[in-house]
Structure 1
């Protein structure tokens, strides 16, 4: 018997011994019967995660965005829902689970509200406002990192203004108003306290 064959038989023996011990311990701990498929599937997943950690491959839930195979249809649906122009290249999809199959997908995209202006006799279409859109949908997620969205399940969750040409920084304006409001309240409170102190002194 060759040396390589002996090594292979030794490895197979260790593997069989390990599996028998695992099934025996599972049957002792669990009151239910041994679910062979579940145990093997769990081991395969753990091996895949270990290999992925060595190769640097990210799981589906860790990827910044999945490859949306029907992004053109998704963008069209978002256009109709928001009455905006969605940037096709900005459509991203993310899942919270590392498993493949049918599951909920979070969609994000950048869209603009366009306006027409006349310049030199020509009509130009320029973005008046820029929006960030967030939606959810059901999608078929593949282990390769691709996802096909069921466009009939798309539900709009948020539409937020990022830029408005009539107000250079919408968010900043809101913060400025909040700061101004706080300062006015502080000034009014200080004035009221000073008046009350004056009245008490006179009394």
Structure 2
């Protein structure tokens, strides 16, 4: 069998085992059935954001990302809350950075924020005391530059990760 066919078969088997491991580990960690479409979409978004960062390699090497002020932070917080299905987003924790030139009209930004989920008490009548769960939300979006900051197009927000803070 030619080497190229062996390589592609190896690559296909590697991806199949990787995806099976990802799905099973998600099930073990969350104790919930996995949403396979969402897991694959998250992987594609992560890989595409890594590939997009290579476009601005020169600006990344010469300096870190530039912090920008979000003008419509309440709308952004509401959009993040709706897309992550959390109970709320702390507006004070909203932070936006970009590696693009802020002199351009439209830029890509990365958004980080802290979200929370209120506790759900069980229906058995027991009182359960737990701290409110907190999450770090990372997203990407397109924004228009204005004189006082950036106006985020909430329809372009893509959630990259939602990580529980312990």
TM-score, length-scaled by structure 2: 0.51
Change (3 A) 1:64 1:104: closer
Match of 2:83 in 1: 81
Please state if 1:162 is matched with 2:154: no
Aligned partners of 1:127, 1:109: CA distance in 2, in Å? 19
Structure 2 residue aligned with 1:91: 94
SS at match of 1:78: helix
Q: What SS does structure 1 have at the residue aligned with 2:99?
A: coil
- The unaligned stretches of length 5 or more in structure 2 are 1-62, 122-129
Is 1:107 matched with 2:111? yes
Equivalent pairs, count: 96
Asked if the contact 2:65/2:99 (under 8 Å) is kept, the reply is no
TM value normalised by structure 1: 0.42
Greater helix content: 1
1:67 CA displacement: 1.3
Larger RCO: Structure 1 or Structure 2 (Cα < 8 Å, ≥ 6 residues apart)? Answer: 2
Tell me the secondary structure at the aligned position of residue 68 of structure 1. coil
Alignment match of 2:150 (pick from 144, 147, 150): 147
The alignment's C-alpha RMSD in Å is 2.6
Deviations 1:31-56 (A, max 9, x none): xxxxxxxxxxxxxxxxxxxxxxxxxx
Structure 1 residue 114: deviation in Å? 1.0
Equivalent residue, structure 1, for 2:74: 72
